[in-house]
Amino acid sequence: MNVTLTPELERRVREKIERGDYENTDVLVRQALDWFLDMDDEDELEETKAAIEEARAQSERGEATPADEVFEELQAKYGIPR
């Protein structure tokens, strides 16, 4: 399968590879497609909506989690490299 990217997408992919965020283009594209296709799953979407509502309620009660902790949890959950 061959896929053609816009120049802007090519630039963004190249930047991610050069920064060391991903080993190579294949890894980045596979991970992006896995994420996208998983987000298409209705159960995953409902789980995400519920988590957002819970976070809002916690924030209103003064129980917010620092953003860096949230990002670390998401990176671990979805296998996202730094």
Render pLDDT for 48-62 as a digit per residue (tens, 0 to 9): 889 999 989 998 999
38 within 8 A of 44, measured Cβ to Cβ: yes
For the chain, the domains span 7-40, 41-82
Is the entire prediction scored with pTM above 0.85? no
pLDDT-derived band at 40, boundaries 50, 70, 90: low
9: pLDDT strictly greater than 70: yes
As a whole number, mean pLDDT of residues 3-29 equals 94
- Can you tell me the distance from the alpha carbon of 60 to that of 39, in angstroms, rounded to the nearest whole number? 27
10 within 8 A of 69, measured Cβ to Cβ: no
29 within 8 A of 35, measured Cβ to Cβ: no
Positive or negative, the CA dihedral 37, 43, 49, 53 is: negative
